[in-house]
């Protein structure tokens, strides 16, 4: 083909663009996702683990203290607008209750172990070979 200086150059087709989204309805605020408060979630998980593992003697103290600390920091973040304040409070409370349950369990075990009646029963069971076979 012969190109002439006045001929228009061929135009390449432009890709179609999506139309802009419609405006928000009047009276309805636009959706803004809340910021996740990871410390509140961690506090709740650790608090629940503290409650479930109260009988393991040392583990609830570590998990419970972490749950209380994360819960307190999570509450302060929630007060600044991060959300999930309820989760942080629940984690803090579960951590404190788990530590208290562990302490009560330790007190119970020590009280039962120091009871003379329990010691008599335990020593008689341990001295009787038939009783040990019955336990196994």
Cβ atoms of residues 77 and 39 within 8 Å:
yes
Q: How many domains does the chain have?
A: 1
- Is residue 109 in some structural domain? yes
Q: How far apart are CA 62 and CA 99, in angstroms?
A: 9
Q: What is the residue range of 54's domain?
A: 38-135
Q: How far apart are CA 97 and CA 63, in angstroms?
A: 12
- Is residue 20 in some structural domain? no
Helix and strand counts by DSSP (H, E) for the chain = 5, 0
Per-residue pLDDT for 16 more than 60? yes
Which residues make Cβ contacts (< 8 Å) with residue 85, sequence separation at least 6? 37, 40, 74, 75, 78, 79
pTM for this predicted structure: 0.65
Per-residue pLDDT band for 135 (boundaries 50, 70, 90) equals low
pLDDT-above-90 percentage for the chain: 46
pLDDT at 22: 75
The larger pLDDT score, comparing residue 81 to residue 103, is at: 103
């Amino acid at each position: 083909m012969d190109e002439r200086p006045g001929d228009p150059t061929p135009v390449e087709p432009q890709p179609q663009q999506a139309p802009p989204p419609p405006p928000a309805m009047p009276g309805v605020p636009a959706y803004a996702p809340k910021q996740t408060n990871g410390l509140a979630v961690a506090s709740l998980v650790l608090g629940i683990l503290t409650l479930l593992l109260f009988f393991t003697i040392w583990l609830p103290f570590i998990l419970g203290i972490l749950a209380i600390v994360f819960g307190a920091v999570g509450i302060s973040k929630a007060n600044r607008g991060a959300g999930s304040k309820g989760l942080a409070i629940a984690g803090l409370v579960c951590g404190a209750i788990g530590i208290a349950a562990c302490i009560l369990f330790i007190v119970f075990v020590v009280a039962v172990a120091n009871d003379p009646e329990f010691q008599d029963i335990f020593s008689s069971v341990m001295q009787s070979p038939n009783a040990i076979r019955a336990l196994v």
